Structure 1
Amino acid sequence: MTTTAPHLLGNFAPVADEATLTDLPVTGTIPPDLTGWYLRNGPNPQQASSAHWFLGDGMVHGIRLESGRATAYRNRWVRTESLRTGARLHDSHGNLDLTAGAANTHVVRHAGRTLALVESSYPYQLDMAPGCELDTLGVYDFGGRLRTPMTAHPKTCPTTGELHFFGYGAPDAPFLTYHRADAAGQLTVSRPVEVGAPTMMHDFHLTSGHVVFMDLPLVFDLPKALSGEPGLPYTWDPGYGARLGVLDRTDPYSPVRWFEIDPCYVFHTLNAHEEGERLVLHAIRYDRLGDGVQVDAHGTLWRWTVNLATCTVREEQLDDRPAEFPRIDDRLAGLPSRYGHASATRTPGSEQRQGAVLRYDLHTGAVTSRLMGPGRTPGEAVFAPADTHAGGPGYLMAFIHAATDRSDLEILDAEHLHTLATVHLPRRVPAGFHGNWLPDH
């Protein structure tokens, strides 16, 4: 008897087709200053099956907002080499093909390019020209200069416009490489960072003066990779230890300073900033993960304070509510941000919980929770600015997944978490990962 995996059931199940819909029904009032595309990426295996939630073919879903109207919805598979030809990251001779990958995790814009990302491979560039939105243009490797995978969580410095990112890989060294592209999209820095083993490094921290890597004990397991066991080829090994690696942005080839922390795992950071000689880092922290990258626990908001003068780290849990997909006003990336948001959501196979959007006041410690209603689970809540003042008022956008064959896009007032508008889709958007609001101007 075969059992369907949890990541292929319910709201995690893939949809079978692509669609273009126009003039979507709306309840409430869409703020008229929102003109652009809300995009969100996620796994949607074309063959309706995959070995792990993280491995399904990428599909980007987009909703177009114009002058108070929801004018269009489109969903398109990212036409990677893996989807088109069945290419694999490693061929039968062990050769690495960085064009092979799902491109299923995030979608970002930098230097005028819209990129679909997954951490195992190169990005894929998407077409955003009218009438061609979300079509795949092809692999993007920064003009041949990128020679490693690219994290799905690059960070744009709001001061310089530079894109900071890294690539990790296994089983061959270097296991970690730091990259930087200037505001025009030219890759200017690529430097290896020495770590003890190939660990799964999903995200990192950026401050105004430093980059902070997280070397955590989810370690690549070659025998598991060769055995074909279910799950991803990573093993939880607390004996490996856990460290934060601090690199000076003004001298990107200087030595990395390492600071030990308690073993844990972090998929996603909220933000980081500097206070004199201290780096203040906020992230959603897990005490541990299961082997094969099984998420059998829940993450909560923590703060690390790294004192560069005393070479110490203070670790503090700030909230005990389950949360994931933390986001800020990205115009404050690497700078002090008083507020952050996250979602109380589900992973495949996890217990059913009341879906909510959370707003953290990082100054007072207060948390505001907006319950989404019975059976309604929010995905990542993306911040969209309401004016030109970084840290000022704005909106949150999130797909809402319900126990039906339909989904909604909810638009909330970011301060009070009140619903301003609900865009109703006549079809389901599967639970997925990350996205962005891409305004026209």
Structure 2
Amino acid sequence: MTGSKPYLTGHYTPVVEEVTATDLTIEGTLPPELTGRMLRNGHNPKPGVTPTHWFKGSGMVHGIRLREGRAEWYRNRWVRTPALDGAPYMTERGPDLTASPAGTHVIEHGGRLLALCEANLPFELTRELETVGAYDFDGKLRGVMTAHPKEDPVTGELHFFGSSPFPPFLTYHVADAEGELVHSADVPGATASLKHDFAITRRHVVFIEGNVTFDPSEASGIPYSWSEQQPARIGVMPRGTDGARQVRWFSVEPGNMLHVSNAYEDGRGRIVLEGPTVDREGFRLSWNWWVGAPGRGTEPAARSYTRRWVIDLADGTVDEQIIDDLAVEFPTLNEAYLGAENRYQYAISFPDEKGFGGYGVVKYDRTTGARRIHRVGDARLPGEAVFVPAAGATREDDGYLLTVVSDLKQDASQLLVIDASGLDRIATVHLPHRVPAGIHGSWIPDSAFGADAG
């Protein structure tokens, strides 16, 4: 049965057991400052379970523990939510926010590890990836949490939102650097449009509403579809406790964005926003892949091209354009520049619908317009490339890109450590089994846990 579902085959074939391996084999030399945990989340349904949509598969977190030039352990664990054992999301009393796949992202904030899925509450994990349970910010979070929160590199605050197909459609939250939820506000003017990611700048919060919106007739279990009646818009809200009362919405060209590259205010005070987007046909190909329907492409990101919006708040206009013809997804950057003007961005390339592009780790130089690609090899799919700054870094791209590669020919996986400046491979950590192609992850340095790094 699973053979007909693209998200259960090839690079996406689930693993069937949890393992722990120690003293992993390394090729090359691991930089000693890489002391921490590389964590990666993704959908991995249990054996015998065939979800109706890729996003409904139970989450499994994979972790690689690095310390001072050694790869001490690898382990993978399902996030043990009620949904893992078959509990339904919808009940007689409404949605059960703990019945979560918890398979989209995994982050650290305030010393706490959280596995995220945007229609549910977060789930807390231990440093060894065992499940603690649902986390609601000590009872202050009464709704859902996006899988794409943004930690301000200046203040340490965590900005996030909850999105719902029913009013209030959008609620904005801020947790302080210690993890206490200190601000929540409903955002007026929002709609039932799917809001998967968003952006912060130094002075604003930026929400993106595309043409994908709530559709209760969608049979996959993820009730969203493309609608020409749903306007594509960008919402700009000043940061601060009164920001929601000043939100402004700007119409943009039809499309849909899942992931933001970055946003910032330029020298003229305009907001510059970038990220991969799809048109209607691109969304159709992606959706059909996600649900295993006929007419799908061979990859879920076959028509995903980077777009730039420049929003002039003074005259109320938006200029937008596609700025690259390479199909990419999973954009990342040096997060010290999150919300500020950045020169470099990274992404994962996929073959487009005509086969152009292929798999690779991409680096963009936004100053020169240059694009470089690190090819990982035939039948090898890299995951989201997480940037880790080098010790004593003086330039924006002084650092490393960490990516977990699925290798079909060898039925194996490796953690690649790539020089973020020149895109040369520095080291390879061999993992004990193939890690399925997944979604998002984080580098968690030991410093995040204070003196008791573990």
Q: TM-score range by the shorter chain?
A: over 0.9
3-state secondary structure, aligned to 1:240 = coil
Confirm or deny that 1:258 pairs with 2:249: yes
Gaps of 5+ in 2: 290-296, 448-454
Match of 1:414 in 2: 420
Residue matched to 2:379: 375
- 1:395 and 2:396 are equivalent in the alignment: no
Amino acid at match of 1:410: L
Q: Does 1:277 align with 2:269?
A: yes
**What secondary structure does 1:54 align onto?**
helix
Q: Percent identity between the aligned chains?
A: 46
Three-state SS of the structure 2 residue aligned to 1:254 is helix
Three-state SS of the structure 2 residue aligned to 1:285 is: strand
Shift, 1:323, TM fit? 0.5
1:187 aligned onto 2:178:
no
Q: How does 1:4-403 map to 2 (within 5 A)?
A: 4-47=4-47, 48-84=49-85, 86-91=86-91, 93=92, 95-128=94-127, 133-170=128-165, 172-195=166-189, 197-224=191-218, 229-230=219-220, 232-250=222-240, 251-275=242-266, 276-288=268-280, 289-290=283-284, 293-294=287-288, 296=297, 297-345=302-350, 354-387=358-391, 389=393, 391-403=396-408
Check the 8 A contact 2:329/2:349 in 1, yes or no: yes
Equivalents in 2 of 1:116, 1:53: separation in Å? 17
Q: Is the 8 A contact 2:403 2:417 kept in 1?
A: yes
Aligned to 2:292: none
Q: Which residue of 1 aligns with 2:432?
A: 426
1:360–1:367 contact (8 Å) kept in structure 2: yes
Q: Work out the CA distance in 1 between the residues paired with 2:78 and 2:178.
A: 27
Could you tell me which amino acid in structure 1 is paired with residue 64 of structure 2?
I
Helix, strand or coil for the counterpart of 1:431? coil
1:440 is aligned with what amino acid?
Answer: D
In 1: Cα distance, 2:320 partner to 2:391 partner? 35
Q: CA deviation at 1:198?
A: 1.5
Q: CA offsets per residue over residues 323-372 of structure 1, 9 Å max, x none?
A: 0100001121101111010011479x996962111001111211111111
Q: Distance in 1 between matches of 2:100 and 2:158?
A: 22
Aligned length in residues: 429
The structural deviation recorded for 1:216 is 1.1
Give the 3 Å change call, closer, same or farther, for CA 3–106 of structure 1 in structure 2. closer
Distance in structure 1 (CA, Å) of the matches to 2:75 and 2:391: 27
Residue 116 of structure 1, CA deviation: 0.4
C-alpha offsets along residues 358-410 of structure 1, whole Å, 9 cap, x if unaligned?
A: 00111121111111111111111000110355725000000111113211111
Distance in structure 2 (CA, Å) of the matches to 1:271 and 1:22: 37
* Amino acid corresponding to residue 374 of structure 1 in structure 2: D
Structure 1 stretch displaced more, 194-203 or 406-415: 194-203
Q: Partners in 2 of 1:430 and 1:179 — Cα distance?
A: 32
- Matched-pair contact (CA < 8 Å) for 1:232–1:293: no
The corresponding residue for 2:452 is none
| Aligned counterparts of 1:346 and 1:423: Cα–Cα separation in 2 | 26
Task: State the distance in 1 between where 2:158 and 2:321 align.
Answer: 29
Task: Give 1:80 shift.
Answer: 0.8
Q: Segments of 4+ in structure 1 off by > 3 A?
A: 194-197, 291-297, 349-353
Conservation of the 8 A alpha-carbon contact between 1:234 and 1:292: no
Find the residue that maps to 1:83 and give its secondary structure. helix
Query: How far is the alpha carbon of 1:9 from its aligned partner?
Result: 0.7
Aligned-pair Cα RMSD in Å: 2.0
Normalised by the size of structure 2, how large is the TM-score?
0.90
* Contact persistence 1:345–1:379 (CA under 8 A): no
Give SS of 2:236's match.
strand
Q: Which consecutive unaligned segments of at least 5 residues does structure 1 have?
A: none
Aligned-pair CA distance for 1:194: 3.2
Task: Report the CA distance between 1:279 and its aligned residue.
Answer: 0.5
Distance across 2 between alignment mates of 1:164 and 1:75: 28
Secondary structure at the counterpart of residue 7 of structure 1:
helix
Query: 1 CA distance for matches of 2:328 and 2:374?
Result: 13
Task: Please give the secondary structure, in 2, of the residue aligned with 1:294.
Answer: helix
Aligned CA distance change for structure 1 residues 216 and 94 (closer, same or farther; 3 Å): farther
Partner of 1:272, secondary structure, is: strand
Matched residues in 1 for 2:224 and 2:188: separation?
A: 19
**TM-score, length-scaled by structure 1:** 0.93
CA deviation digits over 1:113-152, x for unaligned, max 9?
1100000100001101xxxx00011111111111111000
Distance 1:257 1:375 in 2: 45
Shift of 1:253: 3.2
CA 1:206–1:388 in 2, change beyond 3 Å: closer, same or farther?
farther
